[in-house]
């Protein structure tokens, strides 16, 4: 039997075996899929809108009652014995590019492996905010001048560490690595990004990997354009708040890609917008010799319009170029006049949380913002 015959035998053997599949299971699989999707949606909505969800427990079975949603039944019974044990919350979301995952809410932030000058390094290769023993979320961003070569050198502290972490978009090949200290690092590709989860707890790793989904809070990219600012104001004023987000982007190739996303209260956006409106106006083009910034942050809130169908959008766009400028859009009182102001601490402080401090670089001429954003020296 030559190789060609052998391959033919293999093809025929696999095809014949496939015919022995019990396809009567198809209906069962589809039913189970529908139930699982509904339960997952219920869990996600529970996290987003706890007031809309009530969990009733009784008789050894759990029923999830989901309010709202046209495509979901009002009540779905699930078998508690079939559900895998879930690590305890609470959780927060972390995003990078088109990817969002859930991570424990008390984890800090740090770096993640990235390509740099022919090497792969993490800067830093450890948590730089939060409690270092709890866990951290890392992105492939130069946020410190303390870099560690990846893969970790043998006998390095990282080889022995048991602190869990999640890396988003790291320069790590998919696969599993088990470290001397017992930490298991699993990397998968999802939503066009690498997702690396390291923990000694397999349930935690799986929960985080299973939570991977397309980013929802912010656009994953703005292409090669930077969005314009806007006051979101009308003669009649704004209606009720709908939602608010902080979304940061950095230049990737010919466009800008998402590096961080966070939902915030609408008053965070308004305080930032008002502070920047009060800052010094920029009346001439003093950007970096005409080049756009490498990073920008969109701080945006939406409100209902009492006299219109489309939401009103209040948006400040922080452009991290040389000087640091903020686009607030057309002047409400003088529509032909665009408001651009010098970036200030009062404008940045409302939204610069611990995550932003490890993701967004301060403008070159705005190093006074370094405690809030990444400075020249990390």
Residues of this chain that interact with other proteins (CB under 8 A) are 1, 3, 6-7, 9-23, 25-26, 28-30, 32-33, 36-37, 40, 173-176, 186, 188-189, 191-192, 202, 205-206, 209, 213-214
Min dist CB 253 to other proteins, Å, is 14
How far is 232 from 291, CA to CA, in rounded Å? Answer: 28
Neighbours of 353 (CB within 10 A): 17
Closer to other proteins by CB, 20 or 284: give it: 20
Closer to other proteins by CB, 177 or 370: give it: 177
Closer to other proteins by CB, 25 or 278: give it: 25
In DSSP notation, 28-76 reads HHHHHHHHHHHHHHHHHHHHH-GGGEEEEEETTEEEEEE---SSS-SEE
Structure tokens given for 210: 């299973």
Min dist CB 78 to other proteins, Å, is 13
Neighbours of 263 (CB within 10 A): 15
How far is 183 from 201, CA to CA, in rounded Å? Answer: 8
Closer to other proteins by CB, 83 or 134: give it: 83
Closer to other proteins by CB, 213 or 271: give it: 213
Q: In terms of Cα–Cα distance, which of 350, 299, 290 is closest to 322?
A: 290
Min dist CB 366 to other proteins, Å, is 36
Closer to other proteins by CB, 73 or 214: give it: 214
Min dist CB 64 to other proteins, Å, is 15
Task: Tell me phi and psi for residue 269, to 5 degrees.
Answer: -65, -45
Closer to other proteins by CB, 187 or 341: give it: 187
Structure tokens given for 6: 């052998």
Neighbours of 285 (CB within 10 A): 9
Min dist CB 194 to other proteins, Å, is 10
Min dist CB 214 to other proteins, Å, is 6
Parallel, antiparallel, or unpaired for β 91-96 and 213-214?
A: unpaired
Residue 163 CA neighbour count, 13 Å, CB half: 22
Closer to other proteins by CB, 37 or 105: give it: 37
Cis amide linkage into residue 202, ω under 30° from 0 = no
Min dist CB 258 to other proteins, Å, is 15
**CA triple 163-361-133, angle to 5 deg:** 10
Contact (Cβ atoms closer than 8 angstroms) between residue 234 and residue 307? yes
Contact (Cβ atoms closer than 8 angstroms) between residue 254 and residue 292? no
Burial class (CB in 10 A: 0-12, 13-18, 19+), 123: buried
Min dist CB 185 to other proteins, Å, is 11
Three-state SS for 142? Answer: coil
């Amino acid at each position: 039997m030559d190789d060609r015959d052998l391959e033919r035998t293999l093809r025929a053997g696999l095809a014949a075996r496939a015919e022995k599949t019990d396809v009567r299971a198809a209906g069962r699989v589809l039913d189970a899929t529908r139930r699982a999707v509904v339960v997952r949606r219920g869990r996600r909505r529970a996290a987003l809108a706890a007031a809309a969800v009530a969990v009733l427990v009784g008789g050894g079975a759990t029923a999830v009652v989901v309010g709202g949603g046209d495509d979901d039944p009002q009540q779905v019974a699930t078998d508690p014995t079939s559900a895998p044990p879930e690590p305890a919350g609470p959780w927060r979301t972390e995003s990078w590019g088109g990817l969002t995952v859930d991570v424990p809410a008390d984890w800090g932030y740090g770096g993640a492996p990235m390509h740099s000058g022919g090497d792969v390094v993490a800067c830093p290769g450890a948590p730089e905010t939060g409690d270092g023993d709890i866990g951290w979320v890392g992105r492939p961003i130069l946020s410190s001048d303390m870099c560690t070569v990846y893969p970790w050198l043998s006998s390095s502290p990282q080889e022995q560490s048991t602190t869990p972490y999640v890396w988003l978009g790291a320069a790590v090949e998919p696969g599993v690595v088990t470290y001397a200290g017992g930490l298991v690092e699993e990397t998968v590709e999802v939503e066009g990004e690498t997702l690396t989860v390291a923990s000694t707890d397999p349930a935690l790793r799986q929960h985080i990997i299973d939570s991977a989904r397309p980013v929802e809070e912010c656009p994953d990219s703005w292409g090669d354009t930077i969005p314009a600012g806007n006051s979101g104001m009308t003669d009649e004023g704004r209606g009720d708040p709908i939602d608010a987000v902080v979304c940061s982007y950095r230049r990737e190739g010919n466009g800008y890609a998402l590096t961080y996303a966070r939902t915030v209260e609408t008053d965070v956006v308004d305080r930032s917008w008002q502070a920047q409106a009060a800052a010094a106006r920029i009346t001439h083009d003093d950007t970096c010799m005409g080049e756009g910034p490498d990073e920008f942050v969109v701080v945006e809130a939406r409100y209902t319009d009492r006299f219109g169908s489309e939401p009103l959008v209040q948006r400040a766009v922080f452009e991290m170029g040389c000087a640091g400028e903020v686009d607030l859009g057309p002047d409400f009182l003088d529509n032909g006049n665009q408001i651009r102001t010098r970036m200030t601490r009062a404008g940045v402080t409302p939204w610069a949380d611990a995550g932003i401090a490890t993701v967004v670089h301060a403008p070159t001429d705005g190093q006074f913002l370094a405690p809030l954003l990444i400075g020249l020296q990390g």
